[in-house]
Amino acid sequence: MAIPTTRTNEQARISIDLEKCIGCGKCIDVCKDLSLVLKDGKVSLASEPIFGCIGCGHCMAICPSGAIEVNGRYLSPKDLFELPPKEKAAGYEELQTLYQRRRSIREFRDEPVSSEKIKKILEAAKMAPMGLPPSDVNVLVLDTKEKNHLFAKDFCDYLEQMQWMVSGWFLAFMRPFWGKANAAVFRNFVKPLFRVYTEKMQQGTNLVTYDAPLAMYFYGSPYADPADPVVAATTAMYAAESLGLGTCMVGGVHPLIQHGSKAKKFREKYGIKFKSREGLFILIGYPQWTYKKGVRRTFASVVNWN
């Protein structure tokens, strides 16, 4: 039985050219589905794989003689490419500089992000590790500040209809069911968020997407691991930073458009294909202000277990 996604429920197909196979066994070592075995000095398909080929492409990529091809689950030999030389890879110092220079930007210049840069951001995000292939991560692109303002206005209109979600009676009713932490989050974060989003929008100020010239919403599907869209969104964020853009992650929209008929209509209007367990908006644009200093951050804990 193949692992299902919204895109496929079939296994990929592994083809082996025995004349090219040199029996090195590298493909066997990297296939964690146990789909391959060595028989008479040549690679062969195993009789009892775990799931059947998921289309990760490891065996095809590692084969030194080009003896293996994988087709299916949105993968084919055409998807192979030569890796850039190691000396062109960013080192730790370069990466740390990128991480240190990033700040959450909510003030953007009135300057569009070119289609070329949007394409580069998406191409980088496609390389993120997004769980079992084929990826079930989806992306909504709002590529002008006008589109972002309209989205935010519609979202605030939607929130006006959903005020019961932060009413006193509802929060009191739900307290025994969702526990202390969730109750505190709704009382101290979600309820004020409803108020500030809607009140500021009525005054003409967009605190949802900040009228950014570009926003990308990464979300999954019912099959996707909740981490998958977050990993892709984070990769997109750093790709945008590398292109001289400022970015900000926005998590307040996603959980509020997941449940109920009104949420479904909202998603349908914007071509959002699925409700999903996790999703993130990335706001992107040219920063209005320049920061000269950063702020150190910490983990809640780091434990070296012995």
148 with 276, same domain: the answer is: yes
Positive or negative, the Cα torsion across 4, 5, 9, 11?
negative
Give pLDDT tens digits for 146-190: 999 999 999 999 999 999 999 999 999 999 998 999 999 999 999
Residues 6 or more apart from 171 whose CB is under 8 A from it? 183, 186, 187, 191
Do 69 and 112 reside in the same domain of the chain?
Answer: no
| pLDDT tens digits, one per residue of 249-306 | 999 999 999 999 999 999 999 999 999 999 999 999 999 999 999 999 999 999 999 9
- We report the CATH number of the domain holding residue 61 as 3.30.70.20
**Domain-located, residue 298:** no
Predicted confidence (pLDDT) per residue in 110-147, tens digit: 999 999 999 999 999 999 999 899 999 999 999 999 99
Q: What is the CATH number of the domain that holds 194?
A: 3.40.109.10
3-class DSSP assignment, residue 97: helix
- Whether 154 is in a domain gets the answer yes
Is 293 a domain residue?
no
Number of structural domains the chain divides into? 2
pLDDT of residue 123: 98
Residue 67 lies in a domain: yes
Strand 68-71 and strand 246-250: pairing?
Answer: unpaired
Q: Are residues 47 and 132 in the same domain?
A: no
Model confidence, pTM: 0.95
Q: Say whether both 129 and 261 belong to one domain.
A: yes
Q: What is the pLDDT of residue 306?
A: 92
Q: What is the Cα gyration radius of the chain?
A: 23
Residues 141 and 59 in one domain: no
Q: Are residues 142 and 58 in the same domain?
A: no
pLDDT digits (tens, 9 = 90+) for 54-93: 999 999 999 999 999 999 999 999 999 999 999 999 999 9
Please measure the distance between the N-terminal and C-terminal CA atoms of the chain and give it in whole angstroms: 39
Residue 2, pLDDT score: 83
Residue 297 lies in a domain: no
pLDDT of residue 301: 98
Give the pLDDT of residue 65: 97
Q: Are residues 266 and 118 in the same domain?
A: yes
Name the one residue in this structure whose structure tokens are 């999954």. 220
Domain that holds residue 277: 95-285
Instruction: Describe the strand order of the beta sheet including 214-219 as a list of residue ranges.
Output: 138-142, 214-219, 279-285, 246-250
Q: Among 47, 79, 111, where does a domain finish?
A: 79
Say if 206 falls within a structural domain. Answer: yes
Contact 65, 27 (CB under 8 A): no
Instruction: Say whether both 166 and 238 belong to one domain.
Output: yes
Is the same domain home to 73 and 188?
A: no
The confidence score (pLDDT) of residue 1 equals: 64
Please indicate, yes or no, whether residues 56 and 138 belong to a single structural domain of this protein: no
Q: Let me know whether 107 and 167 are in one domain.
A: yes
- Tens digit of each residue's pLDDT (9 = 90 or more) over 203-217: 999 999 999 999 999
Residue 150 burial by CB count (10 A; 0-12/13-18/19+): exposed, middle or buried? middle
The reply to whether 114 and 68 lie within a common domain is no
